[in-house]
């Protein structure tokens, strides 16, 4: 959780995302897992029957189970791993986002380049009181930069800080 509403959020200190982001992502992962699981199971059965190798086909089942188990373990573990490697930092200059486990990226979005911002909330995020900050720039490759997994009020405070017109542009 973040510090009180009194102090400025633009203190140049690297912050982690909200820890509640991990369960939210796990639920998202569980939904896609269920879809993948059932679809691949149906496909497996279809292949098994179509191939008419009923005895040999039985061997497929443990292979499938192992693959699914590995996927489940990965999907359960992954949100916590990405959480460790994601952080953001806000100072007078703007917003800096660090992320990526294997492919790591630092992106700097100066305040003076922010065109507009969104704070969006999906149904799950709303339940957990989280929000996604989307920062739009005039750029081409990074014309929108998303920062998910923020406490909703924090996201709105960052937005308020980034919005142009507040205490004048950094010229």
DSSP letters, 36-90, are HHHHHHHHHHHHHHHHT-HHHHTTHHHHHHHHHHHHHHHHHHHHHHHHHH-EEEE
Report the site for another protein in 37-76 (rule: CB under 8 A). Answer: none
110 scored as a contact of another protein (CB under 8 A): yes
Decide whether 51 or 115 has the Cβ nearer to another protein.
Answer: 115
For the bound state, the minimum distance from the C-beta of residue 148 to another protein, rounded and expressed in Å, comes to: 17
Site stretch for another protein (CB under 8 A), options 2-10, 16-24, 27-35, 109-117 = 109-117
Is there binding between residue 149 and another protein (CB under 8 A)?
no
The token pair that represents 28 in the structure block: 């998202």
Contacts (Cβ under 8 Å, ≥6 apart) of 41: 64
Q: Is 169 in the site for another protein (CB under 8 A)?
A: yes
Helix (H, G, I), strand (E, B) or coil at 167: coil
**Where does this chain bind another protein (CB under 8 A)?**
93-94, 96, 100, 102-113, 137-142, 145, 169-171
């Amino acid at each position: 959780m973040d510090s009180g509403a009194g102090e400025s959020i633009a203190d140049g200190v690297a912050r982690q995302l909200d820890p509640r982001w991990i369960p939210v992502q796990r639920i998202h992962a569980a939904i896609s897992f269920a879809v993948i699981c059932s679809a691949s199971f149906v496909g497996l059965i279809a292949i098994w029957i179509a191939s008419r190798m009923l005895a040999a086909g039985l061997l497929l089942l443990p292979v499938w189970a192992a693959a699914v188990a590995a996927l489940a373990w990965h999907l359960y573990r992954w949100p916590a791993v990405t959480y460790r490697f994601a952080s953001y930092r806000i100072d007078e200059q703007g917003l800096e986002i660090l992320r990526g486990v294997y492919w790591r990226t630092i992106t700097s979005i100066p305040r003076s380049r922010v065109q507009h911002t969104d704070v969006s909330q999906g149904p799950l995020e709303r339940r957990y009181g989280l929000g996604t900050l989307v920062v739009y720039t005039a750029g081409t490759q990074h014309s929108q930069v998303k920062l998910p997994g923020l406490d909703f009020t924090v996201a709105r405070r960052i937005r308020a800080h980034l919005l142009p017109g507040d205490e004048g542009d950094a010229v």
